[in-house]
């Protein structure tokens, strides 16, 4: 079993990084070479801006290369609750931002000729308990009526044609949702940004920042650059040089396993629907097939802010047991990959984007960034160029998490709370 992300192991390495010391003066410095940062860098470079991307590790090393491979449209929150909190118009705007995010990915793939297996598969949100059916059904009815008619309700019998398991009691189908090979996309996006004129430095962690005229000087482990504007696109991997953001982002571990390739008979007997699937538990699981027919199975598994081989292996054992519980017919299937990563959670699980501390930023995707991060990169790029572009998260307040300085000591307590909710729901 490999303790590396499947997406990274099965994608070509990025060979377009700049070599030598980090130096130069640029219009914009982007910190973080994931979907957000690269989406912004490509857009800015296309418009003739000089752009440098500073990545602490390698392209796609963070959440963009460590996720479950889902591009799920619409907000993950209950839509009726979003309408109560924000009003009908704002709730629609937030929901449609994720739809637009998938459209942006599809457009960039076509424009840049990125081979990453993009497909509009549809997403099924599955009711894990009989008591979850009514709430999920009400959410479907509100979504279908108010914002997304391209949805459907599947009763328990219909679910069996999609997922062969006794664990589910109904589900909501969102047909606009998609999937792709995340590693191939992020590498392709990085190459596209470089072709358009951006400079990408890997192994260039930003260790400090100081004002430089109207802009900034950024110190890295390999030198320094100056830039008129800075976009922070680091999410849960935000470093100590940015304490204001670290107090507002809670890094939470998310863990994933990938099976050996399944036979067509095994697929027909477990996930014949070949969609992205998510269950309704608070500490839930998500799953899908890969292009080479492995089943990727992920979830929180353990409430931890650590992701290393030891922590990932412990979480992998939890995930394998959960997989066997839902699909006993796959209980003996081999596990080829086990990995983890950090999710950038906000207190209300909605993203944040805008300006603070003299920096532009977009982060806090709370486990749903794959579908919207590239899109937000383009939005922030346009706003940096003073172009009129709606930012759906602009008006959301963002207070610091009480007693949080970047290391979430309280995660075990949060885990206990959600485990209790799952038991009584």
DSSP string, 170-226: -EEEETT-EE--HHHHHHHHHHHHHHHT-EEESS--EEEEEEETTEEEEEETTEEEE
Residue 417 pLDDT greater than 50, yes or no: no
Q: Give whole-number Cα distances, 270 to 246, 328, 329, in Å.
A: 41, 9, 8
User: How many C-beta neighbours within 10 Å does residue 230 have?
Assistant: 24
How many residues in the chain?
A: 425
pLDDT for the residue numbered 409: 59
Q: Which ranges of 5-65 does DSSP label H, i.e. alpha helix?
A: 6-9, 35-46
Residue 413 pLDDT greater than 60, yes or no: no
SS3 percent helix, strand, coil of the chain, rounded to 5, is 35, 25, 40
- 409 Cβ contact partners less than 8 Å away, ≥ 6 residues apart: none
Pairwise CA distance, residues 384 & 369, whole Å: 21
In this prediction the pTM is: 0.94
Percent of the chain past pLDDT 70, that is, above it, reads 92
- Dump pLDDT digits (tens) for 15-47: 999 999 999 999 999 999 999 999 999 999 999
- Dump pLDDT digits (tens) for 367-403: 999 999 999 999 999 999 999 899 999 989 999 998 7
| pLDDT class of 308 with cuts at 50, 70, 90 | low
Residue 299 pLDDT greater than 60, yes or no: yes
User: How many C-beta neighbours within 10 Å does residue 55 have?
Assistant: 30
Interval 149-166 mean pLDDT: 97
**Domain 6-415's class?**
alpha beta
pLDDT for the residue numbered 395: 87
Pairwise CA distance, residues 356 & 244, whole Å: 9
Q: Give whole-number Cα distances, 229 to 17, 215, 384, in Å.
A: 21, 6, 8
Pairwise CA distance, residues 393 & 75, whole Å: 13
Residue 10 pLDDT greater than 60, yes or no: yes
């Amino acid at each position: 079993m490999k303790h590396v992300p499947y997406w990274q192991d099965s994608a070509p390495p990025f060979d377009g990084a700049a070599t030598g010391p980090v130096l130069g003066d640029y219009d914009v410095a982007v910190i973080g070479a994931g979907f957000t940062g690269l989406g912004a860098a490509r857009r800015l470079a296309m418009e003739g801006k000089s752009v440098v991307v500073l990545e602490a590790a390698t392209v796609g090393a963070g959440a963009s290369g460590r996720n479950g491979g889902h591009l799920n449209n619409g907000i993950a929150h209950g839509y009726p609750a979003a309408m109560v909190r924000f009003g009908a118009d704002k709730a629609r705007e937030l929901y449609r931002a994720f739809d637009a995010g998938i459209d942006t990915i599809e457009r960039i793939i076509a424009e840049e000729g990125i081979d990453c297996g993009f497909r509009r598969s549809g997403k099924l949100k599955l009711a894990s308990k009989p008591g979850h059916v009514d709430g999920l059904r009400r959410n479907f009815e509100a979504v279908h009526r108010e914002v997304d008619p391209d949805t459907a309700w599947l009763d328990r019998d219909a679910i069996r044609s999609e997922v062969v398991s006794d664990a589910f009691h109904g589900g909501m189908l969102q047909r606009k949702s998609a999937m792709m090979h995340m590693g191939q996309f992020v590498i392709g996006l990085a190459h596209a940004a470089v072709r358009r004129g951006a400079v990408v430095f890997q192994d260039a962690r930003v260790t400090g920042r100081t004002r430089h005229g109207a802009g900034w000087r950024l110190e890295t482990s390999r030198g320094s650059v100056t830039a008129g504007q800075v976009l922070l696109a680091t999410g849960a991997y935000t470093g100590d040089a940015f304490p204001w953001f670290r107090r507002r982002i809670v890094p939470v571990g998310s863990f994933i396993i990938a099976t050996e390739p399944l036979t067509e008979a095994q697929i027909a007997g477990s996930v014949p629907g070949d969609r992205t699937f998510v269950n309704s538990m608070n500490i839930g699981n998500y799953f899908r097939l890969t292009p080479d027919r492995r089943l990727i199975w992920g979830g929180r598994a353990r409430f931890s802010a650590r992701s290393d081989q030891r922590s990932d292996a412990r979480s992998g054992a939890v995930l394998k047991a959960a997989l066997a519980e839902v699909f006993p017919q796959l209980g003996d299937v081999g596990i080829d990959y086990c990995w983890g990563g950090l999710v950038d959670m906000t207190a209300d699980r909605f993203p944040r984007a805008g300006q603070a501390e003299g920096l532009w930023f977009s982060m806090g995707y709370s486990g749903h960034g794959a579908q919207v991060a590239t899109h937000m990169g383009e939005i922030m790029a346009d706003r940096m160029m003073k172009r009129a572009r709606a930012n759906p998260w602009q008006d959301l307040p963002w207070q610091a998490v009480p007693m949080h300085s970047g290391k979430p000591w309280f995660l075990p307590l949060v885990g206990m709370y959600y485990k209790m909710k799952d038991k009584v729901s």
